[in-house]
Amino acid sequence: MDASDTKIVTQQRLIGDLRQVIENAEDLLKNTGHYDHGLYHTARNKLAQALAVANQELERCEEAQLERMLDATEQACRQHGDRTGEQRVLRAFH
């Protein structure tokens, strides 16, 4: 595995970890909805704000990952001379 492959695997792992954190935070907010006073209210608001930022970051990471995948597929199609839609689709999933 070269440095580029390692970077991609690391990014995929980070995306997976971020998804898990988001899911856990959403569950925490859902399960503590009845605590709406004092410190709970403040903590829930902070968590909700952090969750919004995390969702934005996840979206940015996923869009960047998709763009890299599309670029790699396009390069492979050019390299192998894929001209038909069928060839290009098969190359994308190869």
For 10-31, how does the pLDDT look when each residue is reduced to its tens digit (9 = 90+)? Answer: 888 989 999 999 999 999 999 9
Considering the entire predicted model, what is its pTM? Answer: 0.72
| Total domains, the chain | 1
Half-sphere exposure of 13 (CA within 13 A, CB side): 6
Whether residue 74 contacts residue 35, with contact meaning beta carbons closer than 8 Å, is answered with no
- What is the C-alpha to C-alpha distance for residues 13 and 4, in angstroms, rounded to an integer? 14
CB count, 10 Å around CB of 3?
7
pLDDT in tens, 36-61: 788 888 999 999 999 999 999 999 98
Residue numbers of the domain that contains 35 = 3-92
The count of other CB atoms within 10 Å of the CB of residue 28 is 14
